[in-house]
Chain A
């Protein structure tokens, strides 16, 4: 009898072993298959990712509240220790800043006058939506954040995200009340930047380290450690002139960016609501009608504001703006071009003169 039991026990055990081995191999193969498939067709799982993010964000929101509070408190705690030193530094800085303030006010006046004189189309106001960071990716391979505001609050994919110190990344996925932010340190992050004061252009490339690389620098010789790196706005994806960090020369002669913000300690972020110049279908038949400037057509990546159709020609296929009164639409057209600093090529100026009432500059 006992012998039979033992026999049965052995059978069960070997059966269990077999089923364990079987499920292990099936699942391991499945994981590899998922990896391969996800590598080839990444978008397939986007929906599942968004759903999961939407599902867990309330949980993470709830769980991260004490964490955020604790971290803020810890930050304050740090401050207690160097309160005197910091106070002294702040006083000194304040004195310096007061001088700068006077200067800034003067310059503001001057700029305002020049703007009036030049009839510059002002850049649109940037508004923002605040969100709290409820999750970071936690892993060494992916650098994303999840915030607790989403589509319902007006967060959309592609929008720039800043914290109190500067640009940290952009929105890559949105749920109803959650959004995923791709940080500038992520391997997949590419940001067109400009380095001040040399105004060299570069692409800031993340490589999963805390300091993204500067690649394709237009003028490497002009760079030096300590130069400010800002978004250039090239490509029409991000608003120009958002501060990112300082350029740092590495031992190998290449430059990296030391970001202003410590992205491991970001608690609150702002998603910038920036109205971009709407894209005009780069059709050639529009060019002679709107602006007789051939230099404009290749610049589809930084498109000028929608030139209202002089004739009701059916060219604006991709422009959702209603073709309102053609002549007077220009001043009220909301999407102005980002006319900050030197980021915008000068060639687009003729196109950006849509009001046919003026035209004294073009002749």
Chain B
């Protein structure tokens, strides 16, 4: 009895860590970092988290968690509700389907894969929000955001790896 409770708690802890990390990443995106002058554009740390955990531990980040992370971002940003949820789910789907290809590859390959993935995600976000607002939005800011995220991914991946090694039981 005790053991099953302990196991349940352990499983909850295991799942909660990537979730909390991803939520933290979303908040980080929302901070007024002022990285780009003139217009507010921040790298999508949340997408990095979804990509990372989808790649290495999809068992700890099921689609439901991905959806909730996206929804959280939508609610704080004040944008269309469902936009980031959709984008994150799509990115997650792409990553999980290409998992076997990526596993065991050098980091450069994974970084490149992230670049492709974020372009796909950005494109979906751009198309969906253009449809939502009924206007052709400027794709420049989307590309800037993708670029910023691409540049910062190695740093984020290092931090995620640290969290994974320190706090999680290896599968």
Contact = CB atoms under 8 A, between A and B. Distances in A.
What 5 A-B pairs have minimum CB-CB distances, sorted nearest first? A34-B82, A140-B141, A142-B79, A210-B38, A138-B42
A63 B72 CA distance: 17
Contacts of A10: none
B137 interface: yes
A136 interface: yes
Given A20-B63, A28-B89, A34-B82, A52 B37 contact: no
A135 B31 contact: yes
B78 A23 contact: no
Interface stretch (A64-72, A234-242, A273-281, A291-299): A64-72
A15 to B, nearest CB: 14
Interface in B49-76: 62-64, 66-67, 70-73, 75-76
B72 A60 contact: no
11 contacts: A31-B89, A48-B75, A52-B75, A60-B31, A133-B32, A136-B32, A138-B29, A138-B40, A140-B144, A140-B145, A209-B140
B39 A209 contact: yes
A265 to B, nearest CB: 4
B135 A24 contact: no
A86 interface: no
Interface stretch (B106-114, B124-132, B159-167): B124-132
Interface in A19-74: 20, 23-24, 27-28, 30-35, 38-39, 45, 48-49, 52-53, 56, 59-60, 63-64, 67-68, 71
A263 B39 contact: yes
Given A138-B42, A207-B135, A266-B32, A35 B86 contact: yes
A216 interface: no
Given A27-B67, A262-B38, A59 B27 contact: yes
Contact of A139 (B32, B79, B138): B79
B34 interface: yes
A67 B39 CA distance: 17
B33 interface: yes
Interface residues of A, number: 56
B17 interface: no
Contacts of B34: 71, 264-265
B31 A140 contact: no
A114 interface: no
B74 to A, nearest CB: 8
A173 interface: yes
Given A27-B89, A28-B89, A60 B27 contact: yes
A148 to B, nearest CB: 11
Given A20-B62, A28-B93, A140-B125, 12 more contacts: A23-B64, A38-B82, A49-B78, A56-B76, A64-B31, A67-B31, A71-B34, A136-B40, A137-B79, A138-B29, A264-B38, A264-B40
Interface of B: 27-42, 44, 62-64, 66-67, 70-73, 75-86, 89-90, 93, 96, 125, 128-129, 132-133, 135, 137-138, 140-142, 144-145
Majority secondary structure of chain B interface residues (helix, strand, loop or mixed): helix
B163 to A, nearest CB: 17
A146 B78 CA distance: 10
A182 B128 CA distance: 21
B147 to A, nearest CB: 12
Interface of A: 20, 23-24, 27-28, 30-35, 38-39, 45, 48-49, 52-53, 56, 59-60, 63-64, 67-68, 71, 133-146, 172-173, 180, 183, 185, 187, 207-210, 262-267
Contacts of A183: 40
B30 A136 contact: yes
Contacts of B132: 35, 39
A60 B30 contact: yes
A306 B150 CA distance: 58
Contacts of A264: 34-41
A27 B27 contact: no
Contacts of A68: 32
A142 B77 contact: yes
